[in-house]
Chain A
Amino acid sequence: MNRVPLEKKVLSENDRLAAELRARFQEHGVLCLNLISSPGSGKTSLLERTLELLPRRDRVAVLTGDIQTENDANRLKRFHFPVKQITTGGTCHLDARMIERHLADWRLEDLDLLFIENVGNLVCPSSYDLGEAAKVVVLSVTEGEDKPLKYPSIFFKSDLLVLSKIDLLPYVPFDIEVAAENARKVHPGMEIVKVSCLMGNGLHEWMMWLGERRRAHKSLVQQTAS
């Protein structure tokens, strides 16, 4: 018997492609955000509100992943920004190859901001780097405040937690402070915004976070270019 040391990442091929994407995003000054949540937590709704609030002249695009349907892309196309659906045909996460393929006929130099809506799942998307600048995890108040402890990886790896559907707080036994505390146990200092896409609360804070990230990304890109 002979033991051969391997010492490499299981997803090294995905990581390699993601690194290439990240370098291309960097080169063209595109801020890429990867939105992750359980099915139905409100990712598409958040993107709808966001596209509605962004100025028309902004250079924004969305890739939205789903196992089967084109529904989310159809919801998002109303806002006249480029939107493309990625149907994974059974796979429960997006991977870097799918992103690369679906970006092929967009010119990155024409974009400043790219949203990726991942497939609804808190587990697998956490392992697949898509070349994004940051992951954003969405958790709705109908899901239970212990989700960050049950699925620590995605809360740990995300820069921002969006606590969604807060208009439903009066009707569900969800302690939003405990949820925030649990998220910060897993990810000390995690940034959190609380929103209702239905009523509009908190969208200002979300747009502020987004604006801040866009500014920071722009100055980083300018620094590395000069």
Chain B
Amino acid sequence: MGIANSVLDAVRTEMGRHPGTYPCKIGVRIGEMAAIDQDALRFCFEAMILETDLSSLELAIEVCPRRHRCQACAREFVVRDYDSRCPQCASLETVCISGDELELAYLEVEEYEPSAVGEKSS
């Protein structure tokens, strides 16, 4: 709930910078270690935009895997099934470099058509 709210706040803030347009899609990046339940986020998001000025806003979620870097050989790799051993040199000394993202990636905006502007104000 708090997350969906923060996403919508950010959309509204950003829209202030793009007069004459409306938002159609917000892109969000979520790491698999970020403790975000995608379905719950989508559900909250959709409930919150219902019958508001953002009701046609689409939520696009990109899931990012957990990535580690090997301390020994510097290889970067995706961690699957919690196996954080380096696939190149088998070292166990690897550190997490990404996978807990909770980020706004982009916003897609569309210019109002003259008729749509009329619709809006009616």
Q: Which residues of A contact B2 (CB under 8 A)?
A: 91, 93, 95, 124, 128
Interface 9-residue window, one of A153-161, A167-175, A198-206: A153-161
Shortest Cβ distance from B96 into A: residue:
A156
- The answer to whether the Cβ of B21 comes within 8 Å of any Cβ in the partner chain is yes
- Cα–Cα distance between A186 and B100 once the two chains are bound (Å): 13
B106 touches A156 (CB 8 A): no
Whether A6 and B14, one on each chain, are in contact in the complex, defined by CB atoms closer than 8 angstroms, is yes
- The answer for the CA separation of A156 and B99 in the assembled complex, in Å, is 11
Determine if A152 is an interface residue (Cβ-Cβ < 8 Å): yes
How many interface residues does A have (CB within 8 Å)? Answer: 32
B5-41 CB contacts (< 8 Å) to partner A? 6-7, 9-10, 14, 18, 21, 24, 27-28, 33-37
- Inter-subunit contact B35/A1 (CB<8 Å): no
Main secondary structure of the interface of A (DSSP, over half): mixed
| A104 touches B (CB below 8 Å) | no
Q: Which of A8, A91, A93, A149 sits near B103, CB closer than 8 Å?
A: A8
Residue of B24, B33, B100, B106 near A6 (CB, 8 A) is B106
Are B35 and A127 within 8 A (Cβ)?
yes
Q: Are B7 and A10 in contact (CB under 8 A)?
A: yes
Q: Mark B90-122, 1 if CB is under 8 A from A, else 0.
A: 001000100010111111111100000000000
Cα–Cα distance between A152 and B103 once the two chains are bound (Å): 19
Smallest CB-CB separation from A149: which chain B residue?
B82
Q: How far is the CA of A95 from the CA of B92 in the complex (A)?
A: 35
In the complex, chain A residues 175-189 whose Cβ is within 8 Å of any chain B Cβ: 185-186, 188
Q: Give 19 A-B contacts (CB < 8 Å), ordered by A residue.
A: A1-B109, A3-B108, A6-B10, A6-B14, A6-B104, A7-B103, A10-B6, A10-B7, A11-B3, A11-B6, A14-B6, A91-B1, A92-B1, A124-B35, A126-B35, A127-B34, A128-B2, A153-B33, A188-B92
A-B pairs with lowest CB-CB distance, top 6: A153-B35, A126-B35, A185-B82, A6-B104, A10-B102, A4-B107
